[in-house]
Structure 1
């Protein structure tokens, strides 16, 4: 695992340096969006609605709209908020675990001691064990101030991110507000059904059937040859330089064709270009071809009264010939 954040648990006058790791991971198969006609990837661009330009990520700020007015907030302004820069997990109180509503649970993180001696870490863990309580904490992570609970899992402290109280909706359904009569016999039968299905929860017994069947479908299509060679069909993927620019299918195919034509196209451009640099390149190429007709023809031509004629008749043709032979 790789730590996503470093900080310290502030526990009274005790500071417990820790590394923070994501405790969970997603194993779902990642699927792309493609055009059903040719399999081309569908990509999204960060395009400005005002100037229509594709915007680099580093040129993007955030904004808040309120009653027809938009307030733009730069990265520097957001970083200036004190809570954003805090690397403390501040313990504010210790509460009984049963008082935490599971509806408030969000993401879980493992905490690893980040000091030469884990004594302070173990001390906090033992305090939670002895009192049978969890620590309510506040911390900042990924542009957001969060509420959390410190609890124990085995020998490890777990930071459980919690939703704020106003983020949990209240359920109000009119159908449940009316009085519903249930007979004693119905209650007994439902209780008997529950007893017949009673068991200890073992997470390993359960699997994600959809992901398993999706994997089988993909493997079956691969075995039947119902797939495309990605690079051969669409060209090598463009390097993601963070510019937000996307090379579409036609552009990728065009570049692939130009690359395959290679030297032929370059030669045509050299012959058509009248500039002095091009002429110098040709002359150098002609001299660099030893023991060829180009060198002999050049020496013979330079003895004539007209140097210009020598260049126009004696050098060009053999130079082209030398390139073709090469």
Structure 2
């Protein structure tokens, strides 16, 4: 597993040398853009619209736009000095909290932490302490010149660090338009919705979920490579689009779920 960062976890006077590894990966199928006529990949150039010419990397500077078309240019030397001042190679645990106190909206990206040379004993100590206390550590870390808030917790038998958003990076839910405030809910509709939720409630098993679009896209690519005839797959029957009555839609969903459960039960008996 590729190491993307080396440093240490510190809490109190304890210091644990660690390595950081990405815990997740993006498996999106990346498609290139080609010229339709000759199938050559399309290239992109950085062009200055005023000078009307391509700009080389060494001619580009960074700037902050504080008003429309008004910029403060930042020298690379200033940025580098700022990075050095803030880039301590440490995950500093500030305090400990309960995981359920943090809303999932705050979570950003996950990283595995592995012990580096000389860190096995302290790593195992922190892992066991987190397990027995039922707490997670709230920490700060600087990754790629950006200070991040993070939490350190135990995942299976490994310490996991998850970067989380700062509070001012999470937009205010009150700014979301058209949210009903005191919309009256019909009791019968609520009871039916609760029955539907109850019938669809299962134990979470992540391994049973798959990216069906990615699978279909890869199959399509393989068929195209092999020169096969491509046929569209049949869609699953859905609730008729003209069913605008909420109660009817709920009952239809409930009936569909019951039929699926009966079919599954009969299948299991046959097996």
The TM-score with structure 2 as length reference comes to 0.76
Cα distance in 1 for partners of 2:65, 2:54 equals 22
| Matched residues, number | 225
1:305-320 maps to which residues of 2 (within 5 A)? none
Pair 214,79 (structure 1): closer, same or farther in 2 beyond 3 Å: same
From the superposition, tell whether residues 107 and 132 of structure 1 become closer, same or farther in structure 2 (CA, over 3 Å).
Answer: same
1:95 to 90, 94, 97: 97
For each residue in 1:128-172, what CA deviation from the matched residue of structure 2 results, as whole angstroms up to 9, or x when unmatched? 112111100001001200000001101211000001111111223
Q: Deviations over 1:280-307 (max 9, x none)?
A: xxxxxxxxxxxxxxxxxxxxxxxxxxxx
In the alignment, what sits opposite 1:23? Answer: 23
Distance 2:210 2:46 in 1: 38
CA distance in 1: counterparts of 2:177 and 2:211, whole angstroms: 35
Q: Which residue of 1 aligns with 2:190?
A: 187
Matches within 5 A, 1:1-326: 1-49=1-49, 51=51, 52-56=53-57, 60-67=60-67, 69-81=70-82, 82-172=84-174, 173=176, 175-224=178-227
Distance of 1:107 and 1:19 partners within structure 2: 16
- CA distance 1:142–1:59, change in 2 (3 Å): farther
Give the Cα–Cα distance (whole angstroms) in 2 for the partners of residues 117 and 210 of structure 1. 43
CA shift digits 1:223-281 (9 cap, x unpaired) = 1189xxxxxxxxxxxxxxxxxxxxxxxxxxxxxxxxxxxxxxxxxxxxxxxxxxxxxxx
1:48 and 1:55 in contact (8 A); partners too:
no
User: What is the SS of the residue equivalent to 1:80?
Assistant: helix
Which SS does the other structure have where 1:215 is aligned?
Answer: helix
- Which structure has greater strand proportion? 2
Question: SS at 2:215's partner residue?
Answer: helix
After superposition, give the CA deviation of every residue in 1:13-65 in whole Å (9 maximum; x if it has no partner).
11111000000011121111112222121111233455524313x55432112
More helix by share: 1
- Aligned CA distance change for structure 1 residues 220 and 13 (closer, same or farther; 3 Å): same
Change in 2 beyond 3 A, CA 1:197/1:123 = same
Q: Distance in 2 between matches of 1:85 and 1:65?
A: 25
Distance 1:9 1:116 in 2: 13
Taking the aligned partners of 1:77 and 1:178, their CA distance within structure 2 comes to: 49
Preserved contact between residue 63 and residue 71 of structure 2 (Cα < 8 Å): yes
Distance 1:179 1:71 in 2: 47
Coordinate RMSD, CA, aligned: 2.1
1:214 is displaced (CA, Å) by 0.9
- 2:262 is matched with none
Counterparts in 2 of 1:27 and 1:176: CA distance versus 1, 3 Å? closer
In 2, the alpha carbon distance for the partners of 1:47 and 1:89 equals 40
> Offset at 1:193?
1.0
Over 3 Å counting, the alpha-carbon distance change for 1:225 and 1:39 in structure 2 is: farther
